[in-house]
Structure 1
Amino acid sequence: MVIAAPAADPLAADAAAARVQRAWDVLDTVLDPEVPAVSVRDLGIVRDVRLVGNALEVVLTPTYSGCPATEVIEHDVLAALEAAGLGPVHATLQRAPAWTTEWITERGRARLLAYGIAPPGPLAPGTEVPLRYMPRAGAAASLACPRCGSHETERLSAFGSTACKALYRCMACREPFEHFKPL
C-alpha cells in the first residue's frame, strides 16, 4: 500500500501569496529617510519579501555598507508592516551583492528627477567603473539639470548630502542639484 503525501492546502498558499503581495504594497509607502520623495522599494533597497514559517522576512540591501540610514530604514519597514497587520515580521540585511543604481525603478528615477535629484543613467554591460575620487575638471559626461534641462552643469563635490550622491550646479539656471552616483 502506497500512502500519498497530503496535498498542499491551496487556500493557505493563496493566503500566503496575498500576504507577501500586501507587504510589497506597504513597502511602496515607506519613504527613504534621506530622500523622502522615493520609497525604499523604488530605490531597490528591498531585495525580497518571503515567508519563513509564519513570519515575513524582508531582505534589505543598503545603498552603502556604511549608510547611516540603514537602521532607520529597517525600523520604518518593520513598523509599517506591523502597523498593516502583517506581523510577525523581521528584516535581514544582505550586503552581497552590493546595491547598485540599476535597482532603482523607473518610477523611482522619475520621482528623483521631480524632487530635484538627477537620477543615474543605465550602465551598459561591461562599462562599470570603480568609484574613484576625481577632480572637478575630470567629470565625464555632463548631466542634464533636473530643473531646466540644460547640460551646462558642473560637479561641485563628489559627495552631496549623503555618500551616495554628488553635488552639481547648473550654469544656465544657477541652481544646485544632487545626482545619485551610478554604482
Structure 2
Amino acid sequence: MVTATLTAADVRAIVAAVPDPELPVVTIEQLGILRDVRVGDDGRVTVDITPTYSGCPAMDAIRADIVARLAEHGVDDVDVRLVLAPAWTTDWITPDGREALRAAGIAPPHPVGPVGLTLSVRCPHCGSPDTRELSRFGSTACKALWVCRACREPFDHVKAL
C-alpha cells in the first residue's frame, strides 16, 4: 500500500490541487471546501469536505475527483466524508482563491464582518463599483448574475453566505 510512504501533508497536497467542478479556476482548498486529511496507521486515508451550501450537487463530483486523484498516486483506500458543521462560509475562500475568481471575471464575495452589509460589488473586469444585480440566480446556485454600468459587462458574483 502506497499510503505507508505518504504523510498526511503529502496526501493533503495531492487533494488540495483538485479543482472545483463548478468554479474550475479555484481548487477545493482555495474555495475552503477541503477541511481535513488524515492517514491512519493502517494506511487508510480520510478526507473531510464541506459543501458550500446544503444540497450542493457538486459534492459527488468532488468526492469522485478526490478518489481519482489519490488513485493516480497509488492510494486506493480512501474515505471522503461530508462535514456539515460548522457550515461553510465565504470567509473560508483563501486570498489567492479570491484573486483567481476575480481574474476569471467572477466577483469574489467581500469578507463578512460584524454587519453583513455590501454597498456595491466591484466589477472584476474594470474595477468599477457602479454595478447592479441582474438576477439572484446565476450559472450555479451559489452565484448571482450582475452587470457593470461602467463597462456594461455581465459577471457572476459568488453569494456571501
- Are positions 1:168 and 2:146 aligned together? yes
More displaced 10-residue stretch of structure 1: 55-64 or 87-96: 87-96
* Aligned positions of 1:1-183 closer than 5 A: 18-52=6-40, 53-124=42-113, 126-128=114-116, 140-183=118-161
Deviations 1:2-37 (A, max 9, x none): xxxxxxxxxxxxx77x52111221123211111110
Q: TM-score if structure 1 supplies the norm length? A: 0.80
Stretches of 4+ moved more than 4 A in 1?
A: none
Asked whether the equivalents of residues 117 and 177 of structure 1 are also in contact (C-alpha less than 8 Å), the reply is yes
SS of 1:98's partner is coil
The residue type paired with residue 156 of structure 1 is: L
Displacement, 1:128?
Answer: 4.7
Q: Distance in 1 between matches of 2:62 and 2:44?
A: 19
Q: Distance in 2 between matches of 1:114 and 1:150?
A: 15
Q: Percent identity?
A: 50
Q: TM-score if structure 2 supplies the norm length? A: 0.91
The residue type paired with residue 89 of structure 2 is: T
> Which structure 1 segments of 5+ residues have no match?
1-14, 130-139
Aligned residue pairs, count: 157
> Which structure 2 segments of 5+ residues have no match?
none
Give the greater-gyration-radius structure (CA).
1
